[in-house]
Amino acid sequence: MATHPDHLRYTASHEYVDLQGDIATIGITQHATEELGDVVYVELPKTGAHYNAGDTFGVVESVKAVSDLYMPVAGTVTEANTRIEAEPALVNQDPYALGWFVKLRVDDPAACQQLLTKEQYEAGLQ
């Protein structure tokens, strides 16, 4: 079974949030990368775009499927990881470090506490 870092928050749709101050790094979980298989294409949003929680913010395409990415919390994109557009395999190789998707200035950092803990997320995978 995939290992998921303790300090992150998760969504049922397999995104993770790493909140540092009011900036959240958002990506997909190791479990999601295992289910998808080899990632071959990533479509990311533009810097400055604002999203509400639950909005579709991008697409990840693998050898098995094309999946929408859903914004876990509301905020404004401060950075998109353009490296994964050129090297989508990084999403599979290192989803929690090199394979992140966007950094977001979160409208309400407390909203991240409403997301799933590691234990809650893993329980939902059973």
Q: What one-character-per-residue DSSP string does 48-103 give?
A: T-EE-TT-EEEEEEESS-EEEEE-SS-EEEEEE-HHHHH-THHHHH-TTTTT--EE
| Helix, strand, coil % over all residues of the chain, rounded to 5 | 25, 35, 40
- Ordered per-residue pLDDT tens for the chain, 126 residues: 567 899 999 999 999 999 999 999 999 999 999 999 999 999 999 999 999 999 999 999 999 999 999 999 999 999 999 999 999 999 999 999 999 999 999 999 999 999 999 999 999 998
**Residue 126: per-residue pLDDT:** 80
Question: How confident is the model at residue 24, as a pLDDT?
Answer: 98
Q: What is the pTM of this model?
A: 0.94
Phi first, then psi: give them for residue 30, nearest 5 degrees: -60, -40
pLDDT at 18: 98
Q: Domains of the chain (ranges plus CATH)?
A: 9-124 (2.40.50.100)
The residue to which tokens 């294409």 are assigned: 41
